[in-house]
Amino acid sequence: MGSVEAYNRLCDAARNLKQKIDAGQGHAQHAMWATDPKWIYPAGGE
């Protein structure tokens, strides 16, 4: 798979996820896998 195809697949996945969230079908991340900076840097790092 080339980089352009990989990028296009990433964009498609992001669009599908946004539609799912906007429709109210999204789910909260599991804290272990979360990417929230407040969880990763609990002391307030940015």
Q: What is the pLDDT of residues 7-16, one digit of tens each?
A: 999 999 999 9
| Assigned domain for 14 exists | yes
Whether 12 is in a domain gets the answer yes
Q: How far is CA 26 from the centre of its chain?
A: 11
Q: What is the pLDDT of residue 40?
A: 63
Structural domain boundaries, residue 31: 3-40
Q: Is the dihedral of CA 36, 37, 40, 44 positive or negative?
A: negative
Stretches in the chain below the pLDDT threshold 50: none
Structure tokens at 19: 């539609």
How many domains does the structure of the chain reveal? 1
Angle at 40 between CA 37 and CA 46, to 5 degrees: 40
Q: Is residue 45 part of a domain?
A: no
**What whole-number distance in Å separates Cα of residue 14 and Cα of residue 18?**
6
Distance (Å, rounded) from C-alpha 26 to C-alpha 38?
20
